[in-house]
Amino acid sequence: MSHPAVTDSTCLIGLERIQRLDILPQVFSPVMIPFAVQAEVGITTTWLTVLTVKNRAVVAALNTQIDNGEAEAIALALEIGNVFAILDDLTARRVATQLGLKVIGTIGVLLRAKQQGIISEIRPLLIALDQADFRVSVALVHRALEIAGEL
């Protein structure tokens, strides 16, 4: 069963760099982004829904701590409710968690894809992300490989 998600630009950019953007709509459906993220990434697909954030005051408050794409993604997730917020920035993840959102990152998306049988291994994708200058800590890579049973 697929769950809805709102993502910021980081996951989209990372998966696009390694030509595996196809994974995201297989793990989450629908996948939604705010207009600020659309402006950052410029990706247009049939499975990506672009929505307007209604509560600009929330965005303004969040902008004091995080960038506009992340702020709009969090605000949109709050407005929709019961969705995953796909965020990689540590500050954005902390803020979203404090606001009661279910948070997952790009590596978490890959782990879910493996658990759901969408991909057979995460190691090649982690290597590809690293080669594409997608920054992931060594500790997180190690933990992800451990969870995936690929150590």
Which tens digits make up the pLDDT trace of 26-45? 999 999 999 999 999 998 89
Run of H or E residues at 148: helix 138-148
Q: Count CB neighbours of 78 within 10 A.
A: 19
**Confidence (pLDDT) at 2:** 76
Number of domains forming the structure of the chain: 1
Q: Is residue 149 part of a domain?
A: no
Q: Is the dihedral of CA 68, 73, 78, 84 positive or negative?
A: negative
Domain of 95 in residue numbering reads as: 3-120
* Tens digits of residue pLDDT in 84-142: 999 999 999 999 999 999 999 999 999 999 999 999 999 999 999 999 999 999 999 99
**Confidence (pLDDT) at 10:** 96
Q: Is residue 48 part of a domain?
A: yes
Q: Is residue 134 part of a domain?
A: no
3-class secondary structure, 6: strand
Q: Is residue 140 part of a domain?
A: no
- Mean pLDDT confidence for 2-6: 93
CATH of the domain at 18: 3.40.50.1010
- Mean pLDDT confidence for 79-84: 96
